[in-house]
Chains A and B, each alone.
Chain A
Amino acid sequence: MANRYWNEYQKTIADDRYYYERSCIRQTFFPGSETAFLKIMKDELGKDIFDDFRLHTCTGIGYHTDVVPLETTMTVVARIFSLMTERGYENLVPSCITSFGVFTEMIHMWQEHPELLEQTRENLYKACKREFEMPKNVAHPSDLIFKYRFELAEKMKYRLVNRFTGKPLNVVEHIGCHYAKLFPDKGVGKAEFPYVLAGMIEAWGGHVVDYPERRHCCGFGFRQYLVQENRGYSVSNTKKKLESMEPYEPDFIVSNCPGCSMFLDRWQYTIAEMEHKTYDREGYGIPVLTYEEMAGLLLGYDPWVLGLQIHQVQCERLLDKIGIPYDPKQKYNSASGKILRAPEKPENLLV
């Protein structure tokens, strides 16, 4: 895939000194991803990235479901900025794509309506006697991995290549809607053909699958899932994407959004239950990785430390294709060595 217009716009991504904002849900969904990202930034790239234990929600899910009013979201976001200001950082890196969208949106609103910014400063001060500066640069962690993808490639032990055939792995990339669909100029490659994950895949030896429903929503869609009666919409949207990518026989899916990675993975089991159907040849489903997991695996990190055992679709077949070693006995051991309760047949989607 090549298009000269993709390369005309380059998003500004700060070089160093990042303030990291963890996600509310990613640590549960993908327990090793954020740790892997921090390890990559610090140990592999030698960057200054601050992981602040005092951080809290950005209100994103509540905001997008009309539970939290705008003024509250602005004040909560302002508090996060004040913590960053207090630590002496100016480059904000939110782990969650929804937080990235919320921060970008609030900054945009404050720039367009300075009276809202003044009101927010007043609200924050009244609430907790805090003051803040707006970040100079807001980048998603996937932007940073993209920025340093070639440096990381030099350190990687493995490539996105099928060791049995020697061919590049077919990789479906899925970008969170709140990454570039809200503000196209805030995403690498803009909204139509975001290049942030595609650039990683290409740099690391894989082949990006371009399928008809590439830009379609993953199915999460906030209200589609959070309102129980609407969950049929959520499953049907995921199904639409899986059906569309099926003929291309993807080896795995990678995403930069917590909701997308979660639902593209979990709904495969639900669809298998509902329709006795999987979208791979063997009936085990298509593995779904976060971009940190993808990078971590290629750098040689232990798949179980990365948390791949927590995924619905199991990853051993993918690890075998790439040639990444793993110890099946350690799969359900905790980081402290404690043996966790293992599912009976985790690889089975069709039951």
Chain B
Amino acid sequence: MKKVAIIGAGPAGIEAASILARSGVEVTLFEKSETPLKNLQDKAFLFPNFQAAQEIIDDLSGKLLVDGITLVSGVEISELKWQGTEWKLTDSKAQTYVTDAVLIATGYQVFDAHRKEELGYGIYKGVITSLDMEQMIKHGKILNANGDEPKRVTFLQCVGSRDEKSGNHYCSKICCVTAVKQAIEVRKQLPKCEASVFYMDLRMWGQGFEEMYRTAQEKYGVSFVRGRISEAAGTFDGRVQLKSEDTLMGLPLKMTTDLLVLMVGMEASCGTKSLGKACDISGDYGFIRTVNPHLYDNETGKPGLFAAGTCKRPMSVSDSINDARSAALAIKDYLDTI
């Protein structure tokens, strides 16, 4: 029986594992957290259909029960070496594994908003990230720094993405639509609360996204301001003062908000960066480099070494799952040739 190691038990890792296991491959799935799907557990609803993230978690968790999958959680892969005909993996507990192929699905981490000091994250309680807001939405408790219902919530796009200062020039792809989704949720849960989104340009690339953006404006009264926020500062009463420019009006703008939500972009995770470096497949910004983005987007150019999901670039959950299916097919083809 052919053996495959999959590093990372997120949506991509689990999807690929279940497909490979169902086709008779022995899969060992490694996860550094104690439980799989860690990033997805932080989500409340997924765009554009507002499907509860828990439903996706339940579905993917069910796929882990397929015969042939061994989940090894709470360990990181510290060494990954090609030995001529097979891969040798060593985990953080010094356990070694030998497999015919390896799929890297080590995913992403969000940009650390502390790095944008001018936006006051970690300094002012009223400044939170999109992850914090997702938790508030999930638990139905959207509260300001004083523990009260906010009267105004402001979202800021492109924090740590499309940003020369932080060194991340790329678009993080999912933040635009996530802000629209979260602004709608704020208006649903707190109908008296104003919601505004500061953006550079809104990239509604997916099916249903543009409609959602329209709905946010027409049905939920979310206002959209084209401009970046240059500075956030705490006020005497615990709110947050923002300075920006409304670039459509061509005027400077100063306003006070109860919550400033920083839409933090995706970055390559530490695991992605270290494995990419160790295997010489590290691409731009530490994401995994593949052979060809059109034709061979799961192949790394190393024998039996593949990549899927957000370890390659920012992706939505559905794109990650589709990419994992493609990777599973590529791995099957490879296994048939050895």
B55-80 interface bits toward A, Cβ cutoff 8 Å, 1 = contact, 0 = none: 00000000000000000000000000
CA distance A346 to B233 in the complex (A): 35
A336 within 8 A of B: no
B123 within 8 A of A: yes
CA distance A6 to B118 in the complex (A): 12
A337 within 8 A of B: no
User: Interface segment, B2-10, B82-90, B194-202, B234-242?
Assistant: B234-242
Are the CB atoms of B236 and A213 closer together than 8 Å? Answer: no
B122 within 8 A of A: yes
Query: Across the two chains, which residue of chain B brings its CB closest to A189?
Result: B117
Interface residues on B, range: 10 to 19
Query: Across the two chains, which residue of chain A brings its CB closest to B233?
Result: A212
- List B residues 14-67 near A (Cβ within 8 Å): none
25 CB contacts below 8 A, A to B, read: A1-B123, A3-B114, A3-B117, A3-B122, A3-B123, A4-B114, A4-B122, A5-B114, A5-B115, A5-B117, A6-B117, A192-B117, A192-B118, A193-B117, A193-B123, A210-B234, A211-B236, A212-B234, A212-B235, A212-B241, A213-B233, A214-B233, A215-B231, A215-B233, A248-B236
Q: How far is the CB of B145 from chain A (nearest CB, A)?
A: 14
B200-235 interface bits toward A, Cβ cutoff 8 Å, 1 = contact, 0 = none: 000000000000000000000000000000010111
A312-334 interface bits toward B, Cβ cutoff 8 Å, 1 = contact, 0 = none: 00000000000000000000000
Q: How far is the CB of B262 from chain A (nearest CB, A)?
A: 15
Q: How far is the CB of B234 from chain A (nearest CB, A)?
A: 6
A343 within 8 A of B: no
Which residues of A come within 8 Å of B, CB atoms?
A: 1, 3-6, 190, 192-193, 210-215, 247-248
CA distance A6 to B120 in the complex (A): 12
CA distance A330 to B84 in the complex (A): 90
- Residues on B with beta carbons closer than 8 Å to the beta carbon of A215: 231, 233
**Top 6 nearest A-B pairs by Cβ distance?**
A192-B117, A212-B233, A212-B241, A247-B236, A192-B118, A212-B235
CA distance A4 to B117 in the complex (A): 10
Query: Across the two chains, which residue of chain A brings its CB closest to B239?
Result: A212
Q: Other than A5-B114, A211-B233, give 9 A-B pairs with Cβ distance below 8 A.
A: A3-B117, A3-B122, A190-B117, A193-B117, A210-B233, A210-B234, A212-B233, A213-B233, A247-B236
- List B residues 79-124 near A (Cβ within 8 Å): 114-115, 117-118, 122-123
CA distance A212 to B118 in the complex (A): 12
- Residues on A with beta carbons closer than 8 Å to the beta carbon of B122: 3-4
CA distance A131 to B114 in the complex (A): 46
CA distance A99 to B115 in the complex (A): 30
CA distance A113 to B151 in the complex (A): 52
Q: How far is the CB of A29 from chain B (nearest CB, A)?
A: 28
- List B residues 298-317 near A (Cβ within 8 Å): none
Query: Across the two chains, which residue of chain B brings its CB closest to A190?
Result: B117
- Residues on A with beta carbons closer than 8 Å to the beta carbon of B231: 215
- Residues on A with beta carbons closer than 8 Å to the beta carbon of B123: 1, 3, 193
CA distance A192 to B230 in the complex (A): 11
Query: Across the two chains, which residue of chain A brings its CB closest to B256?
Result: A212
Query: Across the two chains, which residue of chain B brings its CB closest to A192?
Result: B117
Query: Across the two chains, which residue of chain A brings its CB closest to B122?
Result: A3
- Residues on B with beta carbons closer than 8 Å to the beta carbon of A210: 233-234
Query: Across the two chains, which residue of chain A brings its CB closest to B236?
Result: A247
Q: How far is the CB of B1 from chain A (nearest CB, A)?
A: 49
Q: Taking each of B118, B122, B123, B235, which has the highest tally of chain A beta carbons within 10 Å of its own beta carbon?
A: B123
Q: Taking each of A5, A6, A247, which has the highest tally of chain B beta carbons within 10 Å of its own beta carbon?
A: A5
- Residues on A with beta carbons closer than 8 Å to the beta carbon of B118: 192
- Residues on B with beta carbons closer than 8 Å to the beta carbon of A3: 114, 117, 122-123
Query: Across the two chains, which residue of chain B brings its CB closest to A4?
Result: B114
Q: How far is the CB of B257 from chain A (nearest CB, A)?
A: 12
- Residues on A with beta carbons closer than 8 Å to the beta carbon of B234: 210, 212
CA distance A192 to B233 in the complex (A): 11
- Residues on A with beta carbons closer than 8 Å to the beta carbon of B114: 3-5
- Residues on B with beta carbons closer than 8 Å to the beta carbon of A5: 114-115, 117
- Residues on B with beta carbons closer than 8 Å to the beta carbon of A6: 117
- Residues on B with beta carbons closer than 8 Å to the beta carbon of A211: 233, 236
Query: Across the two chains, which residue of chain A brings its CB closest to B114?
Result: A5
CA distance A247 to B234 in the complex (A): 13
CA distance A193 to B115 in the complex (A): 12
- Residues on A with beta carbons closer than 8 Å to the beta carbon of B233: 210-215
- Residues on B with beta carbons closer than 8 Å to the beta carbon of A212: 233-235, 241
CA distance A212 to B241 in the complex (A): 7
Query: Across the two chains, which residue of chain B brings its CB closest to A245?
Result: B236
- Residues on B with beta carbons closer than 8 Å to the beta carbon of A214: 233
Query: Across the two chains, which residue of chain B brings its CB closest to A247?
Result: B236
Q: How far is the CB of A96 from chain B (nearest CB, A)?
A: 26
CA distance A3 to B115 in the complex (A): 10
CA distance A5 to B113 in the complex (A): 11
Q: How far is the CB of A221 from chain B (nearest CB, A)?
A: 15
Query: Across the two chains, which residue of chain A brings its CB closest to B124?
Result: A210
Q: How far is the CB of A146 from chain B (nearest CB, A)?
A: 19
CA distance A215 to B123 in the complex (A): 15
CA distance A190 to B117 in the complex (A): 10
CA distance A214 to B234 in the complex (A): 10
CA distance A214 to B236 in the complex (A): 12
- Residues on B with beta carbons closer than 8 Å to the beta carbon of A193: 117, 123
CA distance A214 to B123 in the complex (A): 14
CA distance A192 to B232 in the complex (A): 10
CA distance A3 to B119 in the complex (A): 12
- Residues on B with beta carbons closer than 8 Å to the beta carbon of A4: 114, 122
CA distance A212 to B242 in the complex (A): 9
CA distance A5 to B235 in the complex (A): 22
